[in-house]
Structure 1
């Protein structure tokens, strides 16, 4: 039985599709995220990861915005949990931050591709989330801000670690120190998103088409590409080459390979077993 979530929805629009939608669902507060989100988000990803019908996940937000950042009431509750001596307060806070970091890093640990479709506001925590996703698209109305410095926080859930590798160190430093708002078009120029769609409807339809296309590809090659790309990002070229050699030596000789070759030779659509 599928688990029910307070901050998220999981929707499969077509029963024959391997594309599943994971939707941030707090539209009344612009999808500002409470502590419940950090409990539920990795659970939802785990549910999807263990579902063999899932080939690709599209992450989006309900209502008018993708994510308005962290819920300020939740932030205040964390800040005010200050019982005990200074050392114990600091140790407890560090554990809580690590717990929240792990909820975002769960996107990278998730085997299958996660495509994020961004509309409206993507602020603070929203940036942390999208930088962990595999492919990023937005609509023309999207706007972004690395907002944490404005509320007295050093961004601590992944933005400062992942954003420089996406937009360059200098751009990431400027965006993070100024907390300035920037548009979807500028996000495209910086490389934060791969494409800007003209409207939210076009974004939804375009991303669905892209996700369906990825979902039709050999599953082992898709999950392998994600795993090797993420691993290679953090190691030397030589170490990355060694990793992919090990990966392919264990995964290459699969039915997927035979199916792909046979389909190419006979000019037919391949059929791949689910993971």
Structure 2
């Protein structure tokens, strides 16, 4: 199978530079709405980069005026009768619908489980599924004109692709409830004040440049230590303190990057930047 960097994607442009994979949503004429191809392509790209250790950091940005308008409304064709061609399948119900929704949720969960940090650079509107996507990233940076909107309530449905389980761990629950119940827009500066984004930059170019600069800084660190930090942070998010501490002891006992520490001290003595090995590829299946 060709790598993410060798494939012509329908919804994305993928590049690699300075050990940073840059994934750009690339349907600006459709406000980067999430059509059927989007849901298939994003996890394929991210899993390929992660499993094959093709990069040390992933940056996700967008093209055009808005980061994403969320779910392509064509995906809802047939709601109330008939069938749909997109990922929303009103002809699927009950247990099958639950399994189908799991596949949609996985399109964003792949960001959470990626072995390297994922950084979102957001401009303009980050609507509906865009909130699901960016909430699954490790860090978020926004342009001054950016805004977030849990759009699902405005079309008569409950957000279901990951917004609530993740957003409730990122910002105060009162804010989650206000945004979820009203469908109001949360401007970039307010998002920064409540901790949803790390920083607000003047415009789209500036936010992408900032995200890439942070990514390059991370990429210069020990990939194993960074991966371990992500594993520990995610694990601590889901467990009580003592359980997380015990898991940290287990991780360190088996994964402690002694060679990377030795390289760090040697590089300092020699007045150069350390040179760390990449993560090893993961082989799934037989």
User: What CA deviation, in whole Å up to 9, does each residue of 1:89-127 have, x standing for no partner?
Assistant: 222221211110111101011100000000011001000
Distance apart, 1:87 and its partner CA: 11
Q: 1:202 aligns with which of 186, 206, 212?
A: 206
Distance apart, 1:174 and its partner CA: 0.9
Distance apart, 1:177 and its partner CA: 0.6
Q: Which runs of 5+ in 1 are unaligned?
A: none
User: What CA deviation, in whole Å up to 9, does each residue of 1:112-171 have, x standing for no partner?
Assistant: 000000001100100000000001000101111111111111110111111111111111
Distance apart, 1:11 and its partner CA: 1.2
SS in 2 for 1:33: coil
Q: Which runs of 5+ in 2 are unaligned?
A: 85-89, 280-286
Aligned residues: 270
The corresponding residue for 2:87 is none
SS in 2 for 1:217: coil
Alignment of 1:13-28 (within 5 A): 14=17, 17-28=18-29
Moved more, 218-227 or 201-210: 201-210
The two structures, once aligned, show a CA RMSD in angstroms of 1.9
Task: Tell me if structure 2 keeps the 8 A contact 1:188–1:196.
Answer: yes
Task: Tell me if structure 2 keeps the 8 A contact 1:23–1:62.
Answer: yes
TM-score, normalising length from structure 1? Answer: 0.93
Moved more, 146-155 or 265-274: 265-274
The corresponding residue for 2:65 is 64
Task: Tell me if structure 1 keeps the 8 A contact 2:61–2:208.
Answer: no
The corresponding residue for 2:75 is 74
The corresponding residue for 2:44 is 43
Moved more, 54-63 or 88-97: 88-97
TM-score, normalising length from structure 2? Answer: 0.89
Give the whole-Å Cα distance in 2 for the aligned partners of 1:81 and 1:217.
Answer: 53
Query: Per residue, is there more helix in 1 or in 2?
Result: 1
Task: Tell me if structure 1 keeps the 8 A contact 2:32–2:67.
Answer: yes
Give the whole-Å Cα distance in 2 for the aligned partners of 1:94 and 1:53.
Answer: 33
Give the whole-Å Cα distance in 2 for the aligned partners of 1:205 and 1:215.
Answer: 15
Distance apart, 1:19 and its partner CA: 0.9
Q: 1:239 aligns with which of 239, 243, 246?
A: 243
The corresponding residue for 1:102 is 106
SS in 1 for 2:121: strand
SS in 1 for 2:101: helix
